[in-house]
């Protein structure tokens, strides 16, 4: 499944963006598995770590005042899969880029899964790999 | 009173004001009206009593004075002249300075080193760096005592991050006054440059001035280059010598440094060749060392011999042409497929993850300094070698091999990258049309088409980019199709706003046709930067005008610091991130003796670029093009895609 580029703007900024309500209803079609977490991590490291840091804690202040991805309770724009997907796809606030021109949808879902793996253990979804119950990355320290 | 010293009497004499860039007055008036509107024309025609901006006669006269180096005969040589003679013998390519350190800068100019004086020491430091980045040559900057010297700090640090062979000079009071805060401008200079130099020394023994000059060039011209900082107390600069025997280690460069370079062993070269031959999708990262050692031709031979992909890295670009079929610099999606990376001349090493490479990739690194091998990036093979000697040795043993699938993948990745950028350009056009302001994707694409798709040789124009939103977009569209064609102003250190000043140096190098710029001698240079950035060095348009070193500065004016989104969530912060809206940088440029253009549409930008390039080529006139934009274009939520970091390595990369 590939997300088309933003539709015609018709003179309106970001006319192709998802609304908050639309986002809440979205279901993650990519299982929360070690494989998808690893794929998401690869994209995250190359595209997101500049602001959020390799560990997602956003302790580097060079580029932007980015969100600490390891502390979902502090987030302002929702923590459901669809809301995270929306933030990545359409951008968030003024400093978070819209990645819909760079990532396919399934890639964005992979990043969503990786972000879940950064959460405190008690808040993470259950891994859907049969052979393991522990994610490769993002273990609590 | 002779012609050289006679003060200017006639304020209506021919000048460099924009009115005189056009031979035909009617055409000039028409262009002025079209570009700047009737207000500008009115101002130009109704204020005849205001003297025009002009270049004083002393400037061209003194620039063209023959060299007159010091001599041990008669009154003898000053310490400054001894040092200047050494600089000349070492072929120091240029000096950029502000007045101060008078004895030294006067001596260097007298010795015959091309010298340029500008408006701030920091900018002059960046200019010296820029000259070096497009030529690979050692250059110098200079300032006075404490304040002039400290004004250079950001740009010294930037040069250090870029491993530029930059000679930082400054006067520094008297040895006799050390620690007394005598008179003014006391500074402890050497501790200040700790961490930003390869070598530094406060000269405290007059008879060792030549010896430490040798230290300076030995460090700049050996191994991995870097800035050298010397500070001159008066006792050293003004000491007099009538006999070379009174100077310590006074001998020629052949005796105080060596051109011998580290050779790789046959075994290591064969190991590298075997690894490359076995790989299916090998990739060479051609860094700064390839440029510094002028190894771009043998690099291309190797790449073509085995269909090896090449991506460039470092503070300058073009050591492998972006328009080559094997270039991965504009094919970032292919980088992840590479199964072997060969770092050659990568002076500033990234860590895995900072480059868009497969975590499992095998790695070879060739570097002149053993201690750096294995730092940051785990290696399968580390080779201590001069970059050029390694590549020449490799070219001799590497068998020919075709890699059609890899070449096809590179081509597909290049198309995908271009399509992505074109899609963003299409979005940018819509944003521009909807707001009547220019989106950065449109600005960058228009500059690209003008430089590489029109009548201009795509290899001709040296370019650079800077700024945040501006630099990220421009970085995706600017190309380096030959050695020394691209400058990455913010490389690694992320210096703020050196861009225009750096291009002063680059333009001086192109005007003189130094090194790889020789075939393009006299061509204009172009920089794309931001309104925030240009404030740091815009006064150097005066320097560009007075020396006739033309620059086209495309300024993306979005009324703010690029980081304004960081204020969005903080109620009392935004005022710290914003400027007055619609500031007229084009008018400021006119006030500095350059041309000014104001644009808000793609068509206006296209026409302004044409006029500016013509003025630069024929009149040696610089132009600032004010591209009026909106800060909101930075926001991906409102105007997708907003900003995002470019893949590294490749075009638009700036970290490593």
Selected for mutation to probe chain A from B357, B437, B490, B635 (highest A CB count within 10 Å) is: B635
The full set of domain ranges for chain B reads: 18-59, 70-256, 266-407, 436-634
For the A32-123 domain, the top CATH level (class) is mainly alpha
3-state SS, residue B150: helix
B17, B25, B330, B599, B643 from B354: Cα distances, Å = 47, 55, 17, 37, 18
3-state SS, residue B351: coil
B635 and A93: CB-CB below 8 Å? yes
The full DSSP string for B601-640 is SHHHHHHHHHHHHHHHHHH---EEEEEE--GGGG-TTTST
| End-to-end C-alpha distance for chain A, whole angstroms | 36
A38 touches chain B (CB under 8 A): no
Q: Does domain B70-256 have CATH number 3.40.50.970?
A: yes
| B266-407 against B436-634: fold identical | yes
Peptide bond into B649 cis (omega under 30): yes
Residue B2: the pLDDT is: 42
Residue A64: the pLDDT is: 77
B430 and A5: CB-CB below 8 Å? no
A97 chain-B contacts, CB cut-off 8 A: 636, 641-644
Q: Which of B420, B494, B565 has the CB atom closest to A95's CB atom?
A: B565
A47 touches chain B (CB under 8 A): yes
Given a contact cutoff of 8 angstroms between Cβ atoms, the answer to whether B368 and B261 are in contact is yes
Q: Does domain B266-407 have CATH number 3.40.1440.60?
A: no
Residue of chain A minimizing CA distance to B567: A65
What is the separation of C-alpha B516 from the centre of its chain, rounded to a whole number of angstroms? Answer: 14
For chain B, list residues whose CB is within 8 angstroms of any CB belonging to chain A. 353, 356, 359, 420, 423-424, 427, 430-431, 433-434, 494, 563-566, 568-570, 632, 634-645, 647
CB atoms within 10 A of CB B117: 17
- The conformation of residue A73, written as its DSSP 8-state character, comes to G
Q: Which of A13, A46, A99 has the CB atom closest to B638's CB atom?
A: A13
Does ipTM surpass 0.85 in this model? Answer: no
Selected for mutation to probe chain A from B564, B641, B652 (highest A CB count within 10 Å) is: B641
Q: Which of B430, B494, B566 has the CB atom closest to A95's CB atom?
A: B566
Residue A45: the pLDDT is: 85
B434 chain-A contacts, CB cut-off 8 A: 9, 11-13
Residue B44: the pLDDT is: 53
User: Is the CA virtual torsion B606, A13, B467, A49 positive or negative?
Assistant: negative
Q: How many helices (H) and strands (E) does chain B have?
A: 25, 20
Q: Are strands B551-557 and B623-628 parallel, antiparallel or unpaired?
A: parallel
The full DSSP string for B490-559 is TTTT--SS-HHHHHHHHHHHHHHT-GGGGGGTT--EEEEEEHHHHTTTTTHHHHHHHHT--EEEEEEE-S
- Backbone φ and ψ for B310, nearest 5 degrees, come out as -135, 135
Q: Which of B431, B563, B636 has the CB atom closest to A9's CB atom?
A: B431
pLDDT band at A6 (very low <50, low <70, confident <90, very high): very low
Given a contact cutoff of 8 angstroms between Cβ atoms, the answer to whether B535 and B497 are in contact is yes
Instruction: Output B177-186 pairs: Cβ under 8 A, ≥24 positions apart.
Output: B184/B145, B185/B144, B185/B145, B185/B146, B185/B147, B186/B145, B186/B146
Residue B22: the pLDDT is: 36
If one looks up domain B436-634 in CATH, what number appears?
3.40.50.970
A11 touches chain B (CB under 8 A): yes
Residue B445: the pLDDT is: 98
Mean pLDDT (10-residue bins), chain B, 656 residues: 41 40 42 45 64 96 96 96 98 98 97 98 98 98 95 98 98 92 91 98 97 98 97 96 97 96 97 98 98 98 98 98 98 96 97 91 98 97 98 98 98 96 96 97 98 97 96 97 98 96 98 98 98 97 98 98 90 96 98 98 98 98 98 92 92 94
A99 chain-B contacts, CB cut-off 8 A: 641, 644
Selected for mutation to probe chain A from B335, B494, B637, B647 (highest A CB count within 10 Å) is: B637
Residues making up chain A, counted from first to last? 141
The full set of domain ranges for chain A reads: 32-123
B639 and A93: CB-CB below 8 Å? no
């Amino acid at each position: 499944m590939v997300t088309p580029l933003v539709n015609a703007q018709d003179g309106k900024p970001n006319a192709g963006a998802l609304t908050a309500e639309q986002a809440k209803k979205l279901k993650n079609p990519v299982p929360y598995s070690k494989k998808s977490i690893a794929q998401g991590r690869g994209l995250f490291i190359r595209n997101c770590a500049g602001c959020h840091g390799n560990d997602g804690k956003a302790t580097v202040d060079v580029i932007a005042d980015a969100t600490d991805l390891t502390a979902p309770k502090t987030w302002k724009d929702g923590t459901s899969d669809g809301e995270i997907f929306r933030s990545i796809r359409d951008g968030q606030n003024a400093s978070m880029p819209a990645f819909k021109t760079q990532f396919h949808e399934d890639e964005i879902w992979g990043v969503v899964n990786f972000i879940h793996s950064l959460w405190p253990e008690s808040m993470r979804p259950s891994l859907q790999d049969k052979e393991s119950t522990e994610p490769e990355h993002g273990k609590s320290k | 009173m002779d012609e050289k010293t006679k003060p200017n009497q006639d304020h209506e004499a021919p000048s460099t004001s924009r009115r005189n860039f056009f031979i035909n007055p009617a055409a000039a008036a028409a262009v002025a009206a079209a570009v700047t509107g009737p207000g500008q024309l009115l101002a130009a025609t109704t204020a005849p009593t205001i003297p025009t901006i002009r270049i004083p006669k002393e400037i061209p006269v003194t620039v063209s004075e023959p060299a007159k180096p010091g001599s041990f005969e008669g009154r003898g040589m000053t310490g400054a002249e001894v040092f200047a003679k050494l600089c000349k013998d070492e072929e120091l390519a240029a000096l950029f300075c502000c007045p101060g350190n008078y004895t030294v800068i006067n001596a260097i100019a007298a010795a015959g080193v091309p010298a340029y004086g500008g408006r701030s020491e920091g900018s002059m430091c960046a200019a010296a760096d820029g000259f070096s980045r497009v030529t690979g040559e050692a250059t110098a900057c200079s300032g006075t005592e404490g304040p002039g010297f400290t004004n250079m700090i950001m740009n010294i640090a930037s040069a250090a991050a870029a491993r530029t062979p930059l000679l930082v000079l400054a006067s520094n009071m008297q040895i006799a006054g050390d620690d007394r805060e005598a008179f003014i401008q006391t500074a402890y200079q050497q501790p200040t440059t700790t961490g930003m130099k390869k070598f530094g020394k406060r000269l405290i023994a007059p008879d060792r001035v030549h010896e430490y000059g040798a230290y300076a060039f030995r460090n700049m011209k050996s191994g991995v280059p870097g800035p050298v900082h010397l500070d001159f107390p008066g006792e050293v600069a003004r000491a007099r010598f009538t006999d070379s025997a009174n100077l310590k280690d006074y001998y020629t460069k052949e005796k105080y440094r060596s051109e011998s370079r580290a050779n790789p062993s046959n075994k290591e070269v064969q190991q590298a060749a075997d690894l490359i031959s076995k790989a299916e999708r090998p990739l060479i990262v051609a860094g700064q060392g390839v440029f510094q050692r002028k190894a771009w031709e043998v690099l291309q031979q190797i790449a073509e011999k085995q269909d090896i992909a090449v991506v460039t890295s470092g503070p300058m670009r073009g050591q492998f042409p972006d328009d080559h079929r094997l270039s991965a610099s504009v094919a970032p999606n292919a980088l992840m497929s590479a199964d072997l990376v060969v770092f050659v001349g990568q002076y500033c090493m990234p860590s895995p993850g900072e480059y868009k490479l497969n975590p499992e990739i095998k790695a070879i690194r060739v570097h002149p300094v053993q201690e750096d091998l294995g730092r940051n990036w785990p290696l399968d093979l580390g080779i201590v070698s001069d970059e050029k000697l390694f590549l020449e040795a490799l070219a001799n043993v590497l068998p020919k091999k075709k890699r059609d699938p890899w070449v096809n993948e590179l081509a597909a990745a290049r198309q995908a990258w271009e399509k992505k950028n074109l899609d963003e350009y299409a979005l940018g056009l819509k944003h521009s049309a909807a707001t009547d302001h220019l989106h950065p994707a449109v600005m960058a694409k228009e500059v690209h088409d003008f430089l590489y798709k029109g009548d201009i040789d795509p290899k001709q124009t040296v370019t650079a980019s800077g700024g945040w939103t501006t630099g990220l977009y421009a970085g995706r569209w600017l190309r380096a199709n030959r050695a020394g064609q691209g400058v990455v102003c913010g490389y690694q250190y992320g210096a703020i706003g050196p861009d225009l000043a750096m291009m002063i140096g680059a333009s001086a190098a192109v005007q003189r046709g130094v090194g790889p710029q020789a075939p393009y001698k006299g061509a204009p240079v172009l920089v794309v930067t931001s309104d925030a950035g240009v404030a740091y060095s815009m006064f150097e348009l005066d320097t560009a005008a007075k020396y006739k070193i033309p620059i086209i500065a495309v300024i993306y004016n979005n009324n703010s610091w690029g980081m304004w989104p960081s204020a969005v969530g903080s109620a009392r912060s935004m005022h710290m991130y914003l400027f007055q809206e619609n500031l007229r940088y084009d008018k400021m440029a006119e006030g500095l003796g350059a041309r000014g253009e104001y644009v808000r549409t793609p068509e206006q930008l296209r026409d302004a670029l044409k006029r500016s390039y013509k003025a630069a080529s024929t009149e040696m006139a610089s132009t600032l093009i004010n591209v009026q934009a909106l800060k909101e274009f930075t926001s991906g939520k409102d105007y997708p895609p907003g900003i995002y970091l470019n893949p590294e390595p490749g075009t638009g990369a700036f970290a490593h």
